[in-house]
């Protein structure tokens, strides 16, 4: 499990989406990004389907996950 507490693009509140990590100021779970990408969606498609989420937030989440897993972050 990734530690999302240090990623500024996300937040978690017990009363919001059952306490799941969501993109800040939205109700879109972070898990939705990974589920959609694993299902073959592109980032552009995800952003189209979830208009409250910004490209900057997606990039921050992907970079955080990459760093947390010890993978090099692309430049």
Q: Is residue 25 part of a domain?
A: yes
**Which pLDDT score, from 0 to 100, does residue 21 have?**
97
Q: Report the pLDDT value the prediction gives residue 2, as an integer from 0 to 100.
A: 85
Domain for residue 4, yes or no?
no
pLDDT at 72 over 70: no
Number of domains the chain contains? 1
Question: Can you read off the two tokens belonging to residue 35?
Answer: 């589920």
Euclidean distance between CA atoms 41 and 12, whole angstroms: 25
Asked if residue 34 is part of any domain, the answer here is yes
Residue 36: domain span: 9-68
Compute the distance between CA of residue 13 and CA of residue 66 in angstroms, rounded to an integer. 24
Distance, in Å, from the CA atom of 28 to the CA atom of 32, rounded to the nearest integer, reads 7
> What would the pLDDT profile of 34-65 be if each residue is shown by its tens digit?
999 999 999 999 999 999 999 999 999 999 99
CATH number of the CATH domain containing 39: 1.10.10.10
Q: Is residue 1 part of a domain?
A: no
**What's the chain's average pLDDT?**
92
């Amino acid at each position: 499990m990734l530690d999302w507490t240090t990623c500024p693009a996300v937040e978690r509140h017990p009363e919001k989406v059952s306490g799941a990590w969501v993109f800040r100021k939205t109700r879109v779970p972070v898990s939705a990004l990974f589920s959609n990408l694993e299902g073959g969606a592109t980032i552009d498609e995800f952003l189209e389907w979830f208009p409250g989420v910004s490209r900057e937030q997606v990039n921050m989440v992907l970079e955080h996950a990459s760093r947390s897993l010890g993978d090099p972050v692309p430049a």
